[in-house]
Amino acid sequence: MAGQNGDLQGDVFYPPEDIVKNANARDWEQMQKEAAEDLEGFWEAEAEKYHWFDKWDQVLDDSNPPFYKWFTGGKTNLAYNCLDVHVQNSNRNKLALIWEGENDEQRTFSYYALYRETCKFANILKALGVEKGDRVTLYMGPVPETVMAMLACARIGAIHSVVFAGFSKEALRERVEDSQSKVVITQDAGYRNGSEVPLKQTVDKAIRHVGFVENVLVVQRTGSEVHMEQGRDHWYHELAEMPIASRDCEAEEMDAEDMLYLLYTSGTTGKPKAIVHTTGGYMVGIATTLRYVFDLKPSDRFWCAADPGWVTGHSYIVYGPLLLGATNFMYEGAPTYPYPNRWWKMIEYYGLNILYTAPTAVRGLMKFGRAWPDRHNLSSLRLLGSVGEPINPEAWKWYHEVIGYEQCPIMDTWWQTETGGFMITPVPSMPLKPGSATKPFFGVEADVVNDDGESVDPDEEGYLVIKKPWPGMLRTLYKDEERFKETYWSKFEDQGWYLAGDSAKKDEDGYFWVIGRIDDVLNVAGHRLGTAEVESALVSHDAVAEAAVIGVPDDVKGNAIHAYVILTVGYEGTEDLTDELVEHVADELGPIAKPANVEAVDSLPKTRSGKIMRRVLRAKAMGEEVGDLSTMAD
């Protein structure tokens, strides 16, 4: 097939013929052209594939940028589209969800069963006083009830705010307070790496002084003993037995622009940003991207191995696959528990067709050698996916050869919590270059520009920008329109472009190569963390007067956190103290934010205006030349 799309430069992988022939986006060049010529027409045709109680009056309302609206006047409901639509057709008895617990437990739900359980969940939330527009915080792991709880919120018009269960009590408290959630949903505990993660206990600590949380709904997962506060805490399984939990619950007719969820993500300052996603455009955006990028067919068994606590889990575990009527696979625990063949064993056993994960997971499993995957027959796989950071060619090749038997194209999807769904991404019929997320998705106009907004030359680095609105885009930051405008729209205000916060290059063939963040955001094991968040966690310890953190390359995690601290007078940089500081950060933010290294220093390199020069610290940590120091204070 080489040469079909012209002669591409560099290392190129051409997709197998049968994949191209059967792809939902067979003729991607034509589709790209058509969507570029008629953006609204493209999205309108996609929107028509879903159920709307009332049709929209306008596809895109761009009268008040950057506050774009999509499908205005349209009324729909995501849970209705994920469940009721299938229950009413021949998918009723088809598997919607296959779940495996880390302890080998299995649960499966047909579309009808997931519909029934979601309705029960929704009725319980209503009985607890949750109404349309109320915020509900979820602090849960990958269990079926998380899917039900999110769909239940969507069904009744409540706004879910899922907090990743690896976040600490402090991070949870901040997010519950900011969103003013009256109800928190959690589990007694979850299983991870053979141990129990005490979720309910963390909720208790987080909301101890938060007056407005009226109800805590607790799903029983491990059966471990937890404190239940009279009047506030309720076992889910007990309420589910009561008449309030009837198995039908009408879906609220939501305006296309009604808020669907809040999701907190890291930014430049210490305070996380609450990304706002709304209903109609988000639904169309994620379903369309999944349909074409992962070529999802109703007969597919799809596995997005992310956590529901991240945007990847929201868009491509919970909503996307169900919108398309596929069978979703979900796994609770660690990839290496009890042995490093856990994932490969499940792929073989369940006959999964698509695996979507992050480079850090690929590298983490690659480390154990190919003998583990080689014990299993992975030939059910048709496509592979990658997200969260650039995938290094070595990991790409291993994934491609050892897991995909050189037959599965790898969909390297570049996107963000803010974008809702894939933005720069291949479709399976496209030639791939390892390490490149290839080209913008249909209707997405992306570019790499310099400070003046001019497109840079091929292979030159610049700012990644998106020049036209897209349906799944964030609408604002919750209760903070100013920060929304400032963060994403001020740099190229005159042009009206979205600043992604990443640097990138575009090659001669128009393929995009994302390099990394341009702001003070770290990417650790595919997780986004603000340097400011980690620094403020450090200085909240009595021993630390000042702190600066940087990311340094790490074989598995992509980046590891190195922290430099100036100690308060009277403290000494002993090993005990640095260990204590590492634990302190874990307590404040969560284990994912643990510094790999804490070093006590006498001073930090700063500009004359007092800004920490992280590049100097980075150069020092890596033993490189520090470069221009003319702006340094001393």
Site residues for ligand PRX per CB under 6 A: 265, 311-312, 387-390, 412-417, 437, 500-502, 514, 516-517, 523, 528
163 vs 189, which CB is nearer to ligand PRX?
A: 163
Of residues 250 and 519, the one with the C-beta less far from ligand PRX: 519
Contacting residues for 448 by C-beta, under 8 A, at least 6 apart: 455, 456, 460, 461, 462, 463, 464, 465, 504, 505, 506, 512
Specify the residue, 514 or 589, whose C-beta has the smaller distance to ligand PRX.
514
Q: Where are the alpha helices (DSSP H) in 228-294?
A: 236-239, 280-293
Question: What amino acid occupies position 141?
Answer: G
Alpha carbons within 13 angstroms on the beta-carbon side of residue 125 total 34
Closest separation in Å from C-beta 501 to ligand PRX: 6
Residue 167 beta carbon to ligand PRX: minimum distance, rounded to whole angstroms: 13
**How many C-beta atoms surround the C-beta of residue 449 within 10 A?**
20
What φ, ψ does residue 268 adopt, rounded to 5°? Answer: -75, -35
Minimum distance from CB of 450 to ligand PRX (Å)?
A: 19
- The Cα 106–Cα 98 span in angstroms is 7
CA dihedral for 362, 367, 372, 373, sign (positive or negative): positive
Closest CA to 311 of 463, 161, 441, 211: 161
- Closer to ligand PRX at the Cβ: 108 or 416? 416
The CA-atom distances, in angstroms, between 345 and each of 104, 336, 357, 378 are 12, 11, 16, 9
* Minimum distance, C-beta of residue 131 to ligand PRX, in the bound complex (Å): 30
Contacts of 197 (CB under 8 A, 6+ apart): 141, 165, 189, 190, 191
Is residue 587 within a helix (H) or strand (E), and if so which, with residue range? helix 575-589
Q: How far is the CB of 253 from ligand PRX (least distance, A)?
A: 30
CB of 466 to ligand PRX, least distance (A): 12
Minimum CB distance to ligand PRX smaller for 46 or for 412 = 412
- Nearest distance, CB of residue 423 and ligand PRX, angstroms: 9
Contact between 403 and 355 under an 8 Å Cβ cutoff? The reply is: yes
Strand ranges in 296-374 using DSSP code E only, listed in sequence order: 301-304, 327-331, 354-357
How much is the CA Rg of the chain, to the nearest whole Å? Answer: 24
Contact (Cβ atoms closer than 8 angstroms) between residue 34 and residue 43: no
Residue 143 C-beta: closest distance to ligand PRX, Å? 21
Least distance in angstroms from the C-beta of 52 to ligand PRX: 27
Is 161 or 312 the residue whose CB approaches ligand PRX more closely? 312
Q: Residue 490 or residue 568: which is nearer to ligand PRX going by CB?
A: 490
Phi-psi region of 186 (alpha: psi -120 to 50; beta: other; left: phi over 0): beta
- Letter for the amino acid at 171? A
Closer Cβ to ligand PRX, 157 or 530, answer by number = 530
Closest to ligand PRX by CB, 125 vs 514, is: 514
Q: In whole angstroms, how close is the CB of 575 to ligand PRX at the nearest point?
A: 33
Considering beta carbons, is residue 77 or 425 the nearer one to ligand PRX?
425
Which of residues 120 and 505 has its CB atom nearest to ligand PRX in the complex? 505
Q: What is d(CA 392, CA 358) in angstroms, rounded to the nearest whole number?
A: 11
Query: Which CB atom, from 528 or from 584, has the smaller least distance to ligand PRX?
Result: 528
Residues 6+ apart with CB under 8 A from 256: 56, 69, 70, 71, 72, 73, 74, 75, 76, 278, 279, 280, 281
Min. distance of Cβ 618 from ligand PRX in angstroms? Answer: 17
DSSP state of 561: E
Nearer to ligand PRX, 500 or 544 (CB): 500
Whether the Cβ atoms of residue 76 and residue 50 lie closer than 8 Å to each other: yes
Determine whether 627 is exposed, middle or buried from the number of CB atoms within 10 Å of its CB (0-12, 13-18, 19+): exposed
**Residue 458 Cβ, how far from ligand PRX at the closest point, in Å?**
19
Residue number of the CB closest to ligand PRX reads: 417
Considering the complex, what minimum distance in angstroms separates the CB of residue 306 from ligand PRX?
Answer: 8
Between CA 317 and CA 162 the distance in angstroms is 13
Helix (H, G, I), strand (E, B) or coil at 540: coil
